[in-house]
Amino acid sequence: MTSIHVAERVQRIKPSPSSTAADRANQLKREGRSIVSLVVGEPDFDTPAHVREAAARAMNAGATRYTALPGTVELRQAIADKLKRENGLTYALNEIIVTNGAKSAIYTAFAATLEPGDEVIVPAPYWVSYPDMALACDGKPVAVACSEEQGFKLTPAQLEAAITPRTRWLILNSPSNPTGATYSAGEYRALADVLARHPDVLVMTDDIYEHIRFEGGTAPHLLSAAPELRERTLAINGVSKTYAMTGFRIGWAAGPRELIRALDTLTSQSAGNSCSVSQAAAVEALNGSQDFVAQSLAVYRERRDAMASGINAIPGLSCRLPEGAFYLFVNCAGLIGQRTPEGKVLETDGDVVLYLLESVGVAVVAGTAYGLSPYFRLSIATSLDILADGLARIAKAVGDLA
C-alpha cells in the first residue's frame, strides 16, 4: 500500500469551518431532519439577468480561450474605473490583477510575500480563511482580539502593541465578516498614524462587502483616509457578494506595480488566468446597471432589523446591529453554564451551536471559528420566512434550558 505524504503546510491547516458546518447541516437534511441552515456566506439572490446574459453572449461569441494572464484589458479597465468612481483611487492596468475570486487574491499575495515565520496581524473576529492562508504560506497569524465593547474593531494601541520586526502584513476587512463592523475614515486615519511609524508593514484591505453597508453608499476606504499608504497597500475585492456572483469566481487585487508583478508571476505558474466567460460577466456587473446593489441592500436591511430585534428579545442572547455585510454575530455568554434538557451543561459556544443543531435543527457557526468567544455567527442571506423559522426554533431551544 502506498501511503500518501501530505505536506506539513497542509497538515497545519483545516477545512473552512463554515463549509464543515454547511456539510453537516446538509447531511442531517439528507437523513430526513428538518434543518434551518443559517451558515452560508453567499447571497441567496439570482445573479442579475443582464450579467447572466453577458456571460452567455461572451461564450457564444467565442470568449472561451485563455485570456491575458492578469485579466482582460476590458475587465481591468472596468475595475480601474470602479476604483476611481466609487473609491476615488487611481490605478493603472498593470497595477491590477484579476483572480479566481477574492480568496485566491489573498492567498497568492501571502504566497508571494511571506517568508517562514513572517507575521500577519489578523484582527479577531476574522474571516475564517485569513489565519489558515497565512499558515499555508509559512506565515504566522497573529490574532488580536477586538471586543464587542470596542465595536469589534482594532484600536491604534492594539495595532502598535501587535507590530514586531517580523510583521509583514496587517489585514483589515470592513465591513467585516463575521461582525459587519465598519471602520470610519477617522478610525482608519488613527490606524494609519501608527503605521507611519512602521514603514515595512504592508496592509491588505479586504473590501468584498463594501457595498453591503446599511448606511448606504460605499464603505470608507483606508486609502481615502490615508493616501500615503498606497505604495504598501493591496486592495482586495471582487464581484461575489455585491452582484451575487459567487460561482463566477472573479476577484482582484489592486496595488503598487512591484507587488502586482509578484502576483502576476506566481499566478502565471499556478492558477493561470481567471475564467474568460466570468470575466466578461464581471465587466457587465461593474459597467452595467447598479440597480441590483440597492435592491438587495434594502432586502438585507429588512432581514437584519427583523433578525437582530428577534435575537435581542431572547433572554441570554444579544447582538450589535451590524453596519454592513450579511451576518449577525450573536453574543451567547448568557447561555454558558445553563443546562440542556438532557442534562448537559453548555460550556462553550461550540456546545451552544451543537445544542441548537441537535435540539431544534438550526445550523450556525461557533465564534471560536472566527477567533472570539462566546458567540455564534448566523447568516441573513436567506428569506425572511426561513429566518423567522430559525428565530422561533432558537427561542424554543433557549427556553428549554435550565
Binding site for ligand PLP (CB under 6 A): 41, 101-103, 127, 173, 177, 206, 208, 238, 240, 246, 251
Distances, alpha carbon 200 to alpha carbons 164, 203, 302, in Å: 10, 10, 43
β-pairing, 36-37 with 140-145? unpaired
Q: Which three cell numbers stand for residue 90?
A: 487611481
| Nearest approach, Cβ of residue 123 and ligand PLP (Å) | 12
Rounded CA separation 16/385 (Å):
28
| Nearest approach, Cβ of residue 22 and ligand PLP (Å) | 12
Give the Cβ contact number of residue 198 at 10 Å.
Answer: 15
Pick 285 or 397: Cβ nearer ligand PLP: 285
| Nearest approach, Cβ of residue 169 and ligand PLP (Å) | 15
Pick 102 or 352: Cβ nearer ligand PLP: 102
Pick 248 or 355: Cβ nearer ligand PLP: 248
| Nearest approach, Cβ of residue 320 and ligand PLP (Å) | 18
Rounded CA separation 68/76 (Å):
10
Q: Helix %, strand %, coil % for the chain, to 5?
A: 45, 15, 40
Pick 212 or 391: Cβ nearer ligand PLP: 212
Give the Cβ contact number of residue 23 at 10 Å.
Answer: 12
Q: Does 199 sit behind a cis peptide bond, omega within 30 degrees of 0 on the bond before it?
A: no
Pick 233 or 240: Cβ nearer ligand PLP: 240
Q: Decide if 154 contacts 172 (C-beta within 8 A).
A: yes
In sequence order, which residues have a C-beta less than 8 Å from that of residue 290 and are 6 or more positions away?
none
Pick 91 or 252: Cβ nearer ligand PLP: 252
Which has the closest alpha carbon to 116: 159, 171, 165, 166?
166
- Residue owning grid cell 485569513: 130
| Nearest approach, Cβ of residue 99 and ligand PLP (Å) | 8
- Residue 290 is given by DSSP the state -
Pick 191 or 250: Cβ nearer ligand PLP: 250
| Nearest approach, Cβ of residue 310 and ligand PLP (Å) | 23
Rounded CA separation 42/300 (Å):
12
| Nearest approach, Cβ of residue 321 and ligand PLP (Å) | 19
Query: Which residue has the CB atom at the shortest distance from ligand PLP?
Result: 101
Pick 22 or 335: Cβ nearer ligand PLP: 22
Q: Does 175 sit behind a cis peptide bond, omega within 30 degrees of 0 on the bond before it?
A: yes
| Nearest approach, Cβ of residue 240 and ligand PLP (Å) | 4
